[in-house]
Amino acid sequence: MHAQPSGPRTGSPRSGLRAHRLAPAVAGLAVAALGLTACTTGSAGAGGGEGGGTTDTLRSTLIADPSSFDPMTSSGVPGTTANGLLYTTLLAQDEGGAQAGELAAEWEVSPEQGTFTLREGASCADGTPITPTVVKDSLDAFAEVSSNKDLVFGPSTPAITADDDAGTVTIELETPWADMAQGLTMPETGIVCPAGLEDPEGTAKGTVEAAFSGAYTLGEFTPGASVSFELREEGYTFPEYATPLEGEPAAHIRYTISADYNSIANSMIAGDLDLATITGEPMTRFDDQEGFAAERFSTGNLFLLFNEREGRPFADAEARRGVAQALDRQAFVQAATSGLGTPANSIVGDTVPCVNESPDALIAPDPKAAATALEGVSAVQLGTQAVGRGAGNTYINQVLGEAGADVELRTVDNAGLATELATKPESWDMAVINLINLSGTVYGGLSRVVGPTTEEGGRNSTGNPHPELLSQLGAAMAEEDETARCAIYAELQEQAFQDAVVVPLSDLPAQVTAAEGFTQRVVNGLPVAKTMRITG
C-alpha cells in the first residue's frame, strides 16, 4: 500500500511537481475480499451496544433528503453524502491536507497541470469501463455546469485530454491553481458515467443506475423518510488512505431522514441506529454513555460578512471594524453553541493547510471604539435559526444595539438566506454564515468574500471583489512551494480580518457517535460516508 505524504497543517517544504504512486489495486474485487483489504482512515466506533452476532446492514441518518443525485448539481451535506457513495472521484481527502488515490492509481500535480493514471478494472454500475475518456467527459461537464468549478480549477476553463491507451487523464490550467488536487477530492467532481451525462434530469432524480461509478447504487428512496444504498458486486474501489480502517463495508446502508438531534440520540441509545452525526447539546448525552464511541470534531465555521455595495452602511471599513470591535467571540460561542464550540481564528477549520491560527491577526474587542464607529449606523442583519436556534444572531444584535447602532434582525430560513445573499443585495447589510468547507481549502472560505461577486456568478456576497486580496490569492495559487504559499495566505487572512472584510466567530462542533461494531472516519472535519465500516 502507498504511504501518502501527510504534511503539517502550515505546510511542509515540498515544492515543484508532486508525484504520487499507489500500489496496484484491482477495482473489480468481490465484496467480501474488498471488505478485508480496503484502506480508509478512521474512526469513531467500537465500544458497546446490545446484542451480538453480525450484520451486513448499517443504519444512520441524514438531516434532509439529498437535493440531487447528480453530484454536479447537488448541494448541501445530504447530497454530498449520498453522492460520495454513488460516485468515485479521482482523489480523496486524507489527513493533514494530503490526498489519497481513489480512481487514480498515480498522479502528478503542479499549479498548472495534473496527470492522473487510472486504476485498471473500474467500471460503471452497468459494467461500462471507466476509461480516461469517460473521466474527461464527466470533468468537462462538471466544469461547464457546476457552481463549484472555481474551487477545483480556479478561473480557468480546464483543458482536459484523455489517453485511453496510456490510461491517463491530463488537466491543464491557464491560470495556476494550487488547490486543484484538493478540489478533485470533492464529491461534486464524482465521475458521472456516459448514461448519466446523456440524461442529467434522470440522473438528478436517481433513476439512471448506469450513471453511478462509485461503490454503491441507489436503493429505495422515500422523500422525507428514508434513502438506502446497495454495495455493488464488482467494478469499484475505495480510497487508498495512508492509515487503514479495520472492518468491512456494509452491503446495505439505510438512512432515515431526521434533523431532530435529540430524537436521533434516542434512536442511538434504543439500538435503532448504528452511526449518527449529532450537533448541539444532544452530543453531551453520550459523554458518560456506555456502549458507544463518540468523536467530537469541528464540522464548520461561523463568520460574519457584510454587504459592501455602494450606499450600504458597511461599505465603510470603519463601520465594519466597529462591528468587529463590539463583539466578544467567547460570548458568541456561549450563545451560539451553548459553550460547546471554540472561538475561531479564521473562516475555515484548523485542519485546513495554511489556516490562520493566531488570534493576534483578528481585531480585538474595543467597546469604546465600537461605540464611536457605530454611532448613528442603521442596518439590516440577516440570520437563521439553524445554529443554536439563532441565539448567536440575537447576541450580535444586542451588542450592536448597546454600541449605538440601530440594527434590525430579520430571521429567515436557510434557503431564504441563500436567496437574499445571492439575489437581493438591497435587502441586507450583514449576515452570519455557517460554512461547511467541503473543499478543505482556505479559498473555500475566502470565496465568500473575495473574487467574483454573486452578480458575476460567484459566491462572494459582499459585492466587492477586493482586488488587493484577490491579487494575493493569485500569488498563493501560483506558488509551488507550500511554505511560501502559506506565508502569502497568512498575510492575506490578516489583511482580510483587520479590514473587517470578514469577522471569524466560532467553529461549529459536531460528533460522530457509533455503536459497538461500527466505525466511521472524520477526515478534516468531514464525516466521510464511504469510510463507514462494520467491525463486529
Predicted confidence pLDDT, tens digits, the chain (536 residues): 333 333 322 233 222 333 444 443 433 333 333 333 233 323 454 333 344 457 999 999 999 999 999 999 998 899 999 999 999 999 999 998 899 999 999 999 999 999 999 999 999 999 999 999 999 999 999 999 999 999 999 999 999 999 999 999 999 999 999 999 999 999 999 999 999 999 999 999 999 999 999 999 999 999 999 999 999 999 999 999 999 888 999 999 999 999 999 999 999 999 999 999 999 999 999 998 899 999 999 999 999 999 999 999 999 999 999 999 999 999 999 999 999 999 999 999 999 999 999 999 999 999 999 999 999 999 999 998 877 788 999 999 999 999 999 999 999 998 899 999 999 999 999 999 999 999 999 999 999 999 999 999 999 999 999 999 999 999 999 999 999 999 999 999 999 999 999 999 999 999 999 999 999 999 998 999 999 999 98
CA angle, 86 then 447 then 413, to 5°: 70
- Would you state the cell numbers that stand for residue 1, as one nine-digit string? 500500500
Per-domain residue ranges for the chain? 20-291+516-534, 298-509
The 10 Å CB-count burial string (b at 16+, else e) for 375-386 is eebebbbbbbee
> What gap in Å lies between CA 480 and CA 181, rounded to an integer?
13
- Would you state the cell numbers that stand for residue 210, as one nine-digit string? 448506469
The CATH number that domain 298-509 falls under is 3.10.105.10
CATH superfamily of 20-291+516-534: Periplasmic binding protein-like II (3.40.190.10)
Q: Is 298 exposed, middle or buried (0-12, 13-18, 19+ CB in 10 A)?
A: buried
The per-residue DSSP string of 182-208 comes to: HHTTSGGG----HHHHH-HHHHHHT--
Query: What Cα–Cα distance (Å) separates residue 384 from each residue in 55, 323, 409, 426, 437?
Result: 40, 19, 10, 18, 19
Judge if pTM exceeds 0.85. Answer: yes
> What gap in Å lies between CA 396 and CA 329, rounded to an integer?
10
